[in-house]
């Protein structure tokens, strides 16, 4: 086992019972209410100008949820009209308003849960961080032949390309054959964000534990934390995503709600290491709180503090660290988090104990080039809200 790259500064070697989240005033959290009002105003304005059909924002510090707001629509459009380049709105009485309890397709935020499940195995000593993937998956000949390691999967430095067109394979056997044969295209150690890293990690964890990934994450992460609104789909009450059709999509599936948006995760049956989970803002705030307290929430413990620190210390294991493009001014001090293609993101800052969950259905009714300004601005507002406790 390598050095944990830490000295216990985020909680020492012992995880204690951590207070659960409660809703309270910004002042009780050591946050400036004026900045938080601006944060909510900015998100509402972004939805009104068409950044997303709707959004939910949850923010706080320590055990306090100081912001929990919803705006816009969970379902607004019936389809996308490619001739006019606009969404065809549902009648007002058929639309579904956004609420703070609306679940979202998390897209790549799923990777964080896969990463936690992997780091749990590191802590238990059943998985080596610098062990070769081929030692666990010898039939994945592409990765095995190139000596890809567990650390490289978790840090996106395996050299694997961003994705494979698994959705075009004829059947499950064909999809698995593509994954098993896939070889790195880049030099090992070179960063290249890739869904394939988490797909290989999924297969490794399943081979190692004998559990499907959805069962593993439920049993080891979401159930202990009481995250009852979090899991792999289907999730019928979720916010709608896309009228998914070619040429902008990679499959012809129509308007999606409650089923995974990502085409590869869909082709894999909805359970994948890189995408497929659904959750709410409050549940993700619990996830953030557990990590900020060194792996504990209430009486539950999912990781020890040193292993949480290993995940959140640059370059991060599964987590992105200090990325201003979506963390704004929270970046540069050890903030960690992730974004998702459907419009989801979360950021947590161990230095101040703040967390921000911003969920939006930006791909409803159709995907567009991402605009991360809203995410970055919200994180900056939260950073500027921090006051001495």
pLDDT, one tens digit per residue, over 161-191 is 999 999 999 999 999 999 999 999 998 889 9
Confirm if 308 and 288 have CB atoms less than 8 A apart.
no
Give whole-number Cα distances, 69 to 56, 61, 168, 356, in Å.
6, 16, 40, 12
Q: What is the pTM of this model?
A: 0.94
pLDDT for residue 10: 35
Kind plus residue range of the DSSP H or E element containing 376:
helix 373-385
Farthest CA pair distance, the chain: 60
For residue 74, give the nearest of 50, 98, 110, 41 by alpha carbon.
Answer: 98
What residues of the chain score a pLDDT lower than 70? 1-16
The count of C-alpha atoms lying within 13 angstroms of the C-alpha of 243, restricted to the half-sphere facing its C-beta, is 15
Structure tokens belonging to residue 191: 């960063």
Give whole-number Cα distances, 327 to 37, 93, 341, 373, in Å.
18, 37, 16, 10
Confirm if 308 and 11 have CB atoms less than 8 A apart.
yes
The rounded distance, in Å, linking the Cα atoms of 209 and 323 is: 33
Distance separating the N- and C-terminal Cα atoms of the chain: 37
**Bridge partners, residue 73, by sequence:** 97
Q: Hey, is 191 helix, strand or coil?
A: coil
Per residue in 346-369, pLDDT (tens digit) is: 999 999 999 999 999 999 999 999
**Bond preceding residue 247 cis, omega within 30 of 0:** yes
pLDDT for residue 188: 85
Give whole-number Cα distances, 322 to 44, 174, 210, 314, 326, in Å.
26, 38, 35, 8, 9
Per residue in 323-337, pLDDT (tens digit) is: 999 999 999 999 999
pLDDT for residue 111: 98
Beta-strand pair 231-232/86-89: unpaired
Confirm if 56 and 238 have CB atoms less than 8 A apart.
no
Structure tokens belonging to residue 265: 């995760």
214 Cβ contact partners less than 8 Å away, ≥ 6 residues apart: 231, 232, 271
The rounded distance, in Å, linking the Cα atoms of 198 and 153 is: 7
pLDDT for residue 389: 81
């Amino acid at each position: 086992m390598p050095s944990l790259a830490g000295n216990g500064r985020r909680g020492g070697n012992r995880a204690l019972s951590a207070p659960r989240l409660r809703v309270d005033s910004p002042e009780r959290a050591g946050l400036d209410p004026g900045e938080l009002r601006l944060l909510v105003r900015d998100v509402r304005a972004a939805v009104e100008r068409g950044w997303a059909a709707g959004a939910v924002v949850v923010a706080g510090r320590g055990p306090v949820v100081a912001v929990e707001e919803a705006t816009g629509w969970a379902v607004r459009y019936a389809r996308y009209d490619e001739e006019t380049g606009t969404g065809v709105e549902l009648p007002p009485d058929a639309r579904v308003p956004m609420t703070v309890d609306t679940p979202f397709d998390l897209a790549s935020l799923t990777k964080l849960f896969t990463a936690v499940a992997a780091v749990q195995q590191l802590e238990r000593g059943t998985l080596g961080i610098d062990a070769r993937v081929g030692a666990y998956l010898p039939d994945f000949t592409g990765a095995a032949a190139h000596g890809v390691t567990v650390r490289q999967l978790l840090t996106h430095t395996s050299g694997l390309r961003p994705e494979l067109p698994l959705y075009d394979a004829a059947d499950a056997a064909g999809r698995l054959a593509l994954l098993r044969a896939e070889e790195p295209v880049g030099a090992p150690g070179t960063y290249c964000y890739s869904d394939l890293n988490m797909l290989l990690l999924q297969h490794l964890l399943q081979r190692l534990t004998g559990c499907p990934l959805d069962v593993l994450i439920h049993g080891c992460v979401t159930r202990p934390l009481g995250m009852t609104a979090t899991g792999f789909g289907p999730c019928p009450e979720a916010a709608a995503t896309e009228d998914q059709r070619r040429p902008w999509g990679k499959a012809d599936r129509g308007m999606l709600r409650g089923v995974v948006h990502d085409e590869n995760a869909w082709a894999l049956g909805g359970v994948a290491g890189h995408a497929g989970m659904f959750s709410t803002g409050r549940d993700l705030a619990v996830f953030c709180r557990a990590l900020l307290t060194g792996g504990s929430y209430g009486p539950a413990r999912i990781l020890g503090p040193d292993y949480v620190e290993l995940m959140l210390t640059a370059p991060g294991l599964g987590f992105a660290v200090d990325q201003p493009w979506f963390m704004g001014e929270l970046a540069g001090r050890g903030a960690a988090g992730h974004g998702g293609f459907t419009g989801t993101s979360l950021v947590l800052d161990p230095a101040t104990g703040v967390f921000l969950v911003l969920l939006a259905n930006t791909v409803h009714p159709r995907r567009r080039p991402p605009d991360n300004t809203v995410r970055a601005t919200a994180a900056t507002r939260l950073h500027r809200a921090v006051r001495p406790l």
